[in-house]
Structure 1
Amino acid sequence: MRISESVTIDESELEERFVRSSGPGGQNVNKVSTAVELRFNVAASSALPGEVRARLVRLAGRRLTDDGVLVIRAERFRTQERNREDAQERLFDMIREACIVPKRRIKTKPSRGEKERRREAKAKRSHVKRLRGSKPDFG
């Protein structure tokens, strides 16, 4: 499946397991395994370039196991098929996001006007706090 111009994932790399859902479905919930647990081995996947893999690991957070397997659980819908599509779409969105190279931050210095406004605000605040101090002795 083509995810972006640089990433294409083979369907054999995705492992799906159907489990009982806790979502909507009434009595059906107790009988049918509609929730999908989609597993994608990020560490062993040959489809991901190194920098995309590193960003995906960071994006995955706690959804990534110690073995480097990304686990996405989908139980939003009542049917297996819709949950399966939902899980795949969430995985693909996460990979697409990992494909985007973040822009490097350009360091800038505060302008002279910003520095002056900051100093004036500090002086004003200092003055307000000084007025809150002990009362002057008039005696």
Structure 2
Amino acid sequence: MIDFSQEIKYKTSRSPGKGGQNVNKVETKVEAVWNVENSLFFTNEEKICIKNKLSNRMNKIGELCINSSETRSQIENKKIATQKMLQLVTQSLYKSTIRKPSERTRSSIEKRLMFKKKLSYIKRLRNKNNWE
């Protein structure tokens, strides 16, 4: 797995949701921010690929932003946000193979032709000129 976590910056804020008295005092929500353009870890082609596939999660400056407020712990949320970001970037760099269509088999061609002959025979029987 790719590890560019040293380039990620973290911002914290008060998290909405459960936490009791803790929720008003402690900043547990974590936002992980990574500037794709300034990254030293990836090549230009990889950066373009990341930008294209993750453009809906990027801001105008070109930073990839991931939020996490799943747990009450800031450290846990930081780990979760980092894992999400690493997973998204690795998925965006994955290139799927292009499917090559296979040729028709002889039996499938024969079945199709037999079906066509059967239909034409049925339609020929429906013809009014055949009944006379």
Whichever structure has more helix as a proportion of its residues is 2
User: Which of 68, 77, 82 is residue 62 of structure 2 equivalent to?
Assistant: 68
1:20-58: CA deviations, max 9, x gaps?
A: 111321232122110001100012212112333233223
Distance 1:16 1:104, change over 3 A: same
Say what the alpha-carbon RMSD is for the aligned residues: 2.7
Equivalent-residue separation in structure 2 for 1:109 and 1:54 (angstroms): 36
Question: 1:9 is matched with which residue?
Answer: 4
1:86 equivalent to 2:75? Answer no
Equivalent-residue separation in structure 1 for 2:27 and 2:47 (angstroms): 31
Distance 1:109 1:65, change over 3 A: farther
Question: 1:103 is matched with which residue?
Answer: 97
Runs of 4+ in 1 over 4 A off after TM superposition: 107-112
State the identity as a percent. Answer: 26
Any gaps of 5 or more consecutive residues in structure 2? 120-132
Which AA in structure 1 matches 2:47? R
Equivalent-residue separation in structure 2 for 1:26 and 1:45 (angstroms): 39
Question: 1:132 is matched with which residue?
Answer: none
Paired residues in the alignment total: 114
TM-score by length of 1: 0.67
1:17-96 aligned within 5 A = 17-96=11-90
Rg bigger for which structure?
2
